[in-house]
Amino acid sequence: MASERLTKARDYEAEYGKRITKEERPVYHVTPTTGWLNDPNGFSWYDGKYHLFYQYNPYSTRWDAMHWGHLVSKDMVKWERLPAVLAPDTAYDGFGVFSGCGITAPDGRHLLMYTGVEEGIRPDGSLEPRQTQCLAYGDGVEYVKYENNPVITPEMLPEGYVAWDFRDPKVWFEDKEDCYYAIIGASTRENGGAVVLFQSEDLLEWEYVSTLDSSRNAYGYMWECPDLFRLGDTDFIPILPMRMLPIGTEFHAGNNPAYLAGFYDREAHTFERKGIFSLDYGIDFYAPQSMVTPDGRRVMIAWMQTPETMNRTPEGAKWFGQLTVPRELSEREGKLIQNPVRELEAYRTAPAFYQDVLVKEKTRLPEVAGRSLDLTVRVKPAGGTLYQKFTVKVAEDDEFYTSITYDPAESMLCFDRTYAGFRYYIISERKAHVRNRDGEILLRILIDRFSVEIFVNEGEQTMSNTIYTRQSADGISFETFGGAAVIDVEKYTLEV
Q: Least distance (Å) from ligand FRU to the CB of residue 38?
A: 5
Nearer to ligand FRU, 39 or 235 (CB): 39
DSSP symbol at 10: H
Q: Report whether 271 contacts 260 (CB < 8 A).
A: yes
106, 137 contact by CB (below 8 A)? no
For the CA atoms of 256, 448, 347, 365, the dihedral, rounded to the nearest 10 degrees, stands at -120
Cβ 114 to ligand FRU shortest distance, Å:
8
Question: What is the separation of C-alpha 393 from the centre of its chain, rounded to a whole number of angstroms?
Answer: 24
Helix (H) or strand (E) holding 76: none
Smallest gap from residue 129 Cβ to ligand FRU (A): 11
Please answer whether residues 313 and 61 qualify as being in contact, where contact means their C-beta atoms are separated by less than 8 angstroms: yes
* 31 versus 55: smaller Cβ distance to ligand FRU: 55
Which positions touch ligand FRU (CB under 6 A)?
A: 38-39, 55, 66, 98-99, 115, 167-168, 224-225, 286-287
Strand partners, 404: 392, 415
Q: Detail the DSSP E strand segments found in 122-225.
A: 127-138, 143-145, 161-174, 179-188, 192-200, 207-214, 223-224
Who contacts 333 (Cβ-Cβ below 8 Å, separation ≥6)?
Answer: none
Q: How far is the CB of 229 from ligand FRU (least distance, A)?
A: 19
Q: 149 vs 234, which CB is nearer to ligand FRU?
A: 149
Phi, psi of 284 (to 5 degrees): -120, 85
Residue 168: active-site member: no
Sign (positive or negative) of CA dihedral 413, 419, 422, 424: positive
Of 291, 298, 305, 256, the closest CA to residue 277 belongs to 256
Q: Which of 388, 333, 336 is nearest to 360 (CA)?
A: 388
Q: Which of 11, 39, 139, 397 is catalytic?
A: 39
Q: Which is nearer to ligand FRU, 168 or 227 (CB)?
A: 168
Question: CA 401, CA 319: separation in Å to the nearest integer?
Answer: 23
- Closest by alpha carbon to 415, among 481, 363, 462, 472? 462
Q: Let me know: does 389 contact 404? Beta carbons within 8 Å.
A: no
CB–CB of 391/401 below 8 Å?
Answer: no
Report, in Å, the least distance between residue 287 CB and ligand FRU: 4
Q: Burial of 142 by CB count in 10 Å (0-12 exposed, 13-18 middle, 19+ buried)?
A: middle
Q: How far apart are CB 117 and ligand FRU at their closest, in Å?
A: 8
In whole angstroms, the minimum distance from the beta carbon of 67 to ligand FRU comes to: 10
CB of 35 to ligand FRU, least distance (A): 13
SS3 assignment, position 98: strand
Task: Give the separation between CA 8 and CA 277, rounded to whole angstroms.
Answer: 42
> Could you tell me if 456 and 339 are in contact, meaning their C-beta atoms sit under 8 angstroms apart?
no
Active site positions, annotated: 39
